[in-house]
C-alpha cells in the first residue's frame, strides 16, 4: 500500500481530525492506542471551542459528559512544532482535564524532550503518537503509533482547574492514587478517571474501576472486541448473578460505594485468572 501524508490524504489538519471524529473505527483505534479503556460509550467532537474562541482539534468525553482527553494534531507541515506542543497544556487547563494527546507525522528529539519534560515535571499526562496513513481501495487507512506515553503514576498533587466551573470531581487522579496506596499491588494503571490492572491472567483483558462524577462507580472487563460473546457472556453471568451491561468492547456493572466496587473488581480479577470468566 502507498503511504500518504496528512496533506496528501486530507489536504490539511481540520479535515483530518474531522475524519477521525466521523469514523468511529478510526476513533476507536486512536483510543485503543491511548489505552483509555472507555469501551464504546465515548463521544469525540472536532473543533471544540474554548472560552477565548480557540478551537481544540478533538475533545473526548465519557457518557457523563466528562472531558477525558484533548487531542491536538500537527498541521499539514507534518513535523510537531513548539506551538502545537505547547498549546496542548492550555487546552487541558481550559477543558479541565489532565490528559493531552499530540498527533504528528514526526518530531525531532528536541521537541520529544519537551514532551518528556512535561510528563516528568507537571501533573499533565501527554501522549505523543505518529500518524500513519495508507492509501486504500475505499479511502485512507489511518493508524496511530505510540512514540511517548506519560508515566503511569505521578506522585504529585493535582492542580484543580480554577474558575467558576471548577469542581473537586473534575479529575479523580489524586483520589485514585490514594486508593492505590490503600490497596497495594491491586492496580497497574492509574488515570484521572479509572484504576485498572491490565492483561489479567494473560487473557488480554483489563479490569478497571471507573469513577463517575455523580458519585458512583462502573466496574468493567475491557476486552477490546477480543471476546467471543457466546463464551464470554455466559461465563461472566455465571459468576455475577445480576444484570450485566455487555458492550462491543467490554462488560460492566454499577456500584455505589468504593468498597462494593472493589469487591466486584476482585471477583473479576480472580475469575479471569482462574479461567472461570473466559474471553474466548
Specify the pLDDT at position 170. Answer: 45
The distance from CA 126 to its chain's CA centroid, rounded to whole angstroms, is 11
CA distance 90 to 60: 16
Q: Residue 159's pLDDT band (boundaries 50, 70, 90)?
A: very low
Of 21-25, 121-125, 150-154, minimum mean pLDDT range: 150-154
| Cross-strand bridge partners of residue 129 | 103, 146
Closest Cα partner for 194 from 11, 30, 69, 29?
Answer: 69
26 by DSSP, 3-state: which? helix
Mean predicted confidence (pLDDT) in 22-26? 88
Topology adopted by domain 3-148: Trna Endonuclease; Chain: A, domain 1 (3.40.1350)
Specify the pLDDT at position 24. Answer: 84
Cα dist. 124→59, 79, 145, 172, 208 in Å?
Answer: 16, 22, 21, 13, 21
pLDDT of 168 > 50? The answer is: no
Specify the pLDDT at position 126. Answer: 92
Whether 97 contacts 192, CB under 8 Å: yes
Backbone angles phi, psi at 177, to 5 degrees: -65, -40
| Cross-strand bridge partners of residue 59 | 45, 70
Whether 253 contacts 219, CB under 8 Å: yes
CA distance 216 to 259: 11
Mean predicted confidence (pLDDT) in 73-93? 88
**Helix H or strand E encompassing 231:** helix 229-239
CA distance 273 to 201: 4
Give CATH 3.30.70 domain extents, the chain: 173-273
In words, the CATH class of domain 173-273 is alpha beta
CA distance 208 to 172: 14
Of 50-54, 88-92, 174-178, 273-277, minimum mean pLDDT range: 50-54
* The three cell numbers locating residue 11: 489536504
Give CATH 3.40.1350.10 domain extents, the chain: 3-148
Mean predicted confidence (pLDDT) in 183-202? 88
Amino acid at each position: 500500500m502507498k503511504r500518504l501524508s496528512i496533506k496528501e490524504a486530507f489536504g490539511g489538519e481540520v479535515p483530518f481530525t474531522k475524519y477521525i471524529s466521523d469514523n468511529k473505527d478510526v476513533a476507536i483505534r486512536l483510543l485503543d492506542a491511548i489505552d483509555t479503556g472507555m469501551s464504546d460509550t465515548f463521544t469525540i467532537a472536532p473543533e471544540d471551542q474554548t472560552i477565548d474562541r480557540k478551537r481544540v482539534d478533538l475533545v473526548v468525553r465519557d457518557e457523563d459528559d466528562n472531558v477525558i482527553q484533548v487531542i491536538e494534531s500537527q498541521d499539514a507541515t507534518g513535523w510537531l512544532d513548539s506551538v502545537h506542543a505547547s498549546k496542548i497544556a492550555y487546552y487541558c487547563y481550559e477543558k479541565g482535564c489532565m490528559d493531552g494527546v499530540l498527533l504528528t507525522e514526526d518530531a525531532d528529539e528536541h521537541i520529544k524532550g519537551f514532551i518528556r519534560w512535561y510528563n516528568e515535571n507537571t501533573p499533565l499526562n501527554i501522549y505523543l503518537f505518529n500518524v500513519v496513513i495508507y492509501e486504500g481501495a475505499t479511502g485512507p487507512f489511518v493508524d496511530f503509533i505510540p512514540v511517548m506515553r506519560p508515566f503511569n503514576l505521578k506522585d504529585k498533587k493535582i492542580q484543580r482547574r480554577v474558575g467558576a466551573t471548577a469542581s473537586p470531581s473534575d479529575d479523580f487522579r489524586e483520589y485514585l492514587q490514594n486508593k492505590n496506596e490503600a490497596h497495594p499491588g491491586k492496580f497497574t494503571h492509574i488515570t484521572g478517571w479509572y484504576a485498572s490492572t491490565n492483561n489479567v491472567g494473560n487473557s488480554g483483558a483489563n479490569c478497571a474501576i471507573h469513577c463517575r462524577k455523580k458519585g458512583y462507580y462502573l466496574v468493567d472487563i475491557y476486552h477490546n472486541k477480543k471476546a467471543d460473546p457466546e463464551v464470554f457472556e455466559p461465563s461472566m453471568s455465571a459468576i455475577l448473578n445480576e444484570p450485566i451491561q455487555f458492550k462491543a468492547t467490554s462488560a460492566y456493572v454499577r456500584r455505589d460505594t468504593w468498597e462494593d466496587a472493589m469487591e466486584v473488581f476482585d471477583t473479576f480479577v480472580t475469575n479471569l485468572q482462574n479461567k472461570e470468566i473466559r474471553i474466548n
